[in-house]
Amino acid sequence: MNIHEYQAKELFRQYGIPVPDGLTAATPEEAESAALRLGGPLVVKAQVQAGGRGQAGGVKLVRTPPEAGNAAAALLGRVLRTRQTGAAGKPVHQVLLEKALDISHEYYLSLSIDSAAEQVALVASGEGGMDIEEVAAGRPERICRVNIDPFIGLRAYQLLELAGAIGIPPSLKRQFTSIGLALYRLFTEKDCAMLEINPLALVENGEGKPALVALDAKAGFDAGALFRQPDIAALRDRAQEPPLEARAFDAGLNYVSLKGNIGCLVIGAGLAMATMDAIKLFGGEPGNFLDCGSNSKTEDSREAFEIILAEPGIEGILVNVFGGITQTDLVAAGVIEALRRHREQLPVVVRLEGTGSAEANRLLLDSGLNVQLAGSLTEGAEMIMKLVASQKGRKSRPGAML
Ligand code: GDP
Ligand code: MN
């Protein structure tokens, strides 16, 4: 789950990471009065949960309160498309107004999970700002990376070394180190999946001395840990999520939309991965990742199946459940209910094994629905691909398949 920049900056404040003074506004009038309170030149920033706002016109520099009101009017209520939002874009319901600062250099600093190493990775660069992806692609030697041993944690010496490697001026190495340590504390205490400061800007503080300030803040959290982070869970903004993923999240499903043509209804993340592999093995592309969670009941399976039906580009659905705790007869009942609600005919292959599977298969056979039963995962994947291919053959002109 992701949160907005202004919310991430509030967390930064709590952890002692310096951020500019700022206020949020949901209307141009609020923006104007916020600008009056903050005073001086300001930046007005669209609050969408995606990067690339600067290049997409989502960050505006203004000098006066009326200008701030106009900038807010131009952003609020709009859908902002950036290189990270996809074609659908994301709605702007709030703007963040901040005192504009004179930037003399932009650094990059982030923490994320290196799942292969099973460690948190600290990434930093002396070439922060809006084009970090280009730096990573074209000048990878300018990106420095340190993996953090979870039992030892992040140590000051690692940050001091990193500060040297990315060209932090010697007088600011201590500040860089304390920002890095605070960021790591926030990451571990709040069950983050990702924290990013880009740019971490070199500016002049109130007394004309150089200082580092987090001008941007991005934060993502492990959805599986939200049950113990109620303060974070409360920050969720459903309007920023792809609609089907938001619907699945509300239903307690682990769901990710993908580009392919075969929908997969599976219980267990491991089995879901194996099912996606099997679909690819027989020439298909999974249209979604879905782990319904064990102990799914009829309503859960029905909702999951309906979400897959709503996914654009789906040409066939493979249901693959091995019932341990899960009663597969309840899953079958959910699939039947979903299919009865939808008239659309698309190939469906179901493989149900384990608890309740005799009853489950009988329910499916007696349903009168056009559902094919498979005896194994491999057989199911092969069947769904054959059915989708023959359905396509029937839809196109006779002879077109040859
Ligand atoms: P992103 O494009 O979504 O990552 O949005 P950012 O918050 O990083 O803003 C984009 C760019 O706007 C930054 O890289 C800065 O160059 C610029 N920017 C943001 N805040 C300020 C500021 O206070 N003063 C100045 N001069 N530029 C800023
Ligand atoms: Mn940024």
- Do 93 and 214 have their domain in common? no
CA of 53 to the centre of ligand 1 (A): 9
- Do 283 and 389 have their domain in common? yes
282 lies in which domain range?
242-396
CA of 256 to the centre of ligand 2 (A): 25
Q: What are phi and psi of 388, to 5 degrees?
A: -65, -40
Asked whether residue 299 is domain-assigned, the answer is: yes
- Do 203 and 264 have their domain in common? no
Q: Is 130 in the pocket of ligand 1 (CB under 6 A)?
A: yes
Is residue 319 a contact partner of residue 349, using CB atoms and an 8 Å limit? yes
Asked whether residue 43 is domain-assigned, the answer is: yes
CATH of the domain at 198: 3.30.470.20
Is residue 95 a contact partner of residue 25, using CB atoms and an 8 Å limit? yes
- Do 286 and 353 have their domain in common? yes
- Do 391 and 325 have their domain in common? yes
Q: Can 184 be counted among the known catalytic residues?
A: no
Is residue 275 a contact partner of residue 377, using CB atoms and an 8 Å limit? yes
Q: Can 196 be counted among the known catalytic residues?
A: yes
* 98 CA closest ligand 1 atom index: 23
* List of the chain residues with pLDDT < 50: 399-402
Tally the domains of the chain. 3
- Do 267 and 390 have their domain in common? yes
Is residue 127 a contact partner of residue 105, using CB atoms and an 8 Å limit? no
Which ligand has its closest atom nearest to the C-alpha of 58?
Answer: 1
What would the two tokens of residue 343 be? 């008239």
pLDDT given at position 87:
87
Pairing of strands 95-99, 42-46: antiparallel
Which ligand has its closest atom nearest to the C-alpha of 43?
Answer: 1
- Do 112 and 176 have their domain in common? yes
Nearest CA to ligand 1 atom 8: 216
- Taking alpha carbons only, the member of 308, 309, 292, 297 closest to residue 253 is 292
pLDDT given at position 401:
44
- Do 262 and 333 have their domain in common? yes
Asked whether residue 16 is domain-assigned, the answer is: no
Asked whether residue 402 is domain-assigned, the answer is: no
Domain end point (choices 99, 114, 133): 99
Q: Is 197 in the pocket of ligand 1 (CB under 6 A)?
A: no
pLDDT given at position 205:
79
Asked whether residue 212 is domain-assigned, the answer is: yes
Mutation probe of ligand 1 site: the residue of 6, 23, 103, 105 with most atoms within 8 A of C-beta: 103
Asked whether residue 270 is domain-assigned, the answer is: yes
pLDDT digits (tens, 9 = 90+) for 186-214: 999 999 999 999 999 999 877 889 999 99
368: burial class by Cβ within 10 Å (0-12, 13-18, 19+)? exposed
- Do 273 and 379 have their domain in common? yes
Domain end point (choices 68, 99, 130): 99
Asked whether residue 90 is domain-assigned, the answer is: yes
- Do 146 and 161 have their domain in common? yes
pLDDT digits (tens, 9 = 90+) for 139-154: 888 999 999 999 999 9
CATH of the domain at 45: 3.30.1490.20
Domain end point (choices 187, 203, 230): 230
Is residue 199 a contact partner of residue 218, using CB atoms and an 8 Å limit? no
pLDDT given at position 55:
93
CATH of the domain at 249: 3.40.50.261
- Do 159 and 120 have their domain in common? yes
- Do 249 and 392 have their domain in common? yes
CA of 129 to the centre of ligand 1 (A): 7
Asked whether residue 156 is domain-assigned, the answer is: yes
Handedness of CA 4, 6, 8, 11 (dihedral sign): negative
The count of other CB atoms within 10 Å of the CB of residue 367 is 16
